[in-house]
Amino acid sequence: MCLGIPGRITEIWEDRGTRMALIDFGGATRTACLAYLPDAAVGDYTIIHAGFALTVVDEAAAHRTLTTFRELGILETEVGT
């Protein structure tokens, strides 16, 4: 239902009282509204939906998730051998 794509904040400005940002989606950039992320900073990754940044991606949590996936494999290999 809700297409949300991660992108990196490259620029932040105010447009008549509304916090806006330029988001880089990996080569394609577009502006998004940053009103709901008052603490987001340039360099942060956010998830954009319908032109709005809704959450800052937590890098440490992402690494933990990927590590879990990798360890699944390792544990399995150890069990298997």
Partner 1 sequence: MTGWSCPAPLRGHDRVVLGHGGGGVLSAELVEHLFLPAFAPEPSELSEPSEPLADAVVLEVGGGRLAFTTDSYVVRPLFFPGGSIGELAVHGTVNDLACRGARPLALSAGFILEEGLELELLGRVAQAMGRAAAQVGVRVATGDTKVVERGLADGLYVNTSGIGLVPAGVDIRPARARPGDRILLSGPIGDHGIAVLSVREGLAFGGDLRSDTAPLHGLVDVMLAATRSGVHVLRDPTRGGLATSLCEIAAAARVGIGFTESAIPVRPAVEAACGFLGLDPLHIANEGRMVAFVAAAEADAVLEAMRAHPGGRDSVLIGTVTAEHPGVVVARTAFGGTRVIDRPLGEALPRIC
Partner 2 sequence: MRYLTEFHDPELAVRLVDAIADTATRRWTLMEVCGGQTHTIIRYGLDQLLTEQVEFIHGPGCPVCVTPLEMIDRALAIAARPEVVLCSFGDMLRVPGSTADLFTVRAHGGDVRVVYSPLDAVALAEAHPERQVVFFAVGFETTAPAAAMAAVTARRRRLTNFTMLVSHVLVPPAMRAVLAAPDNRVAAFLAAGHVCTVMGTEQYEPIVAEHRIPVVVTGFEPLDLLEGVRQAVTQLEAGRTELVNAYPRAVRPEGNPPARRMLAEVFSVCDRPWRGIGTIPDSGWRLAPAWADLDAERRFDVAELTVAESVHCRSGEVLQGRIRPPECPAFGGDCTPRRPLGATMVSAEGACAAYYQYRRLAMVDRDRVDLTEWTVTE
Binding partner 1 (rule: CB under 8 A), the pick from 13, 18, 25, 35 is 25
Q: Are 25 and 75 in contact (CB under 8 A)?
A: no
Q: What angle do CA 8, 44, 10 make, to 5 degrees?
A: 50
In the bound complex, what is the minimum distance in angstroms from residue 76's beta carbon to partner 1? 18
Distance CA(40)–CA(64), nearest Å, equals: 22
If contact means CB under 5 to 8 A according to the sort of partner, which of partner 2, partner 1, none does residue 38 touch?
partner 2
Binding residues vs partner 1 (CB under 8 A):
1-3, 5, 7, 22, 24-31, 48-50
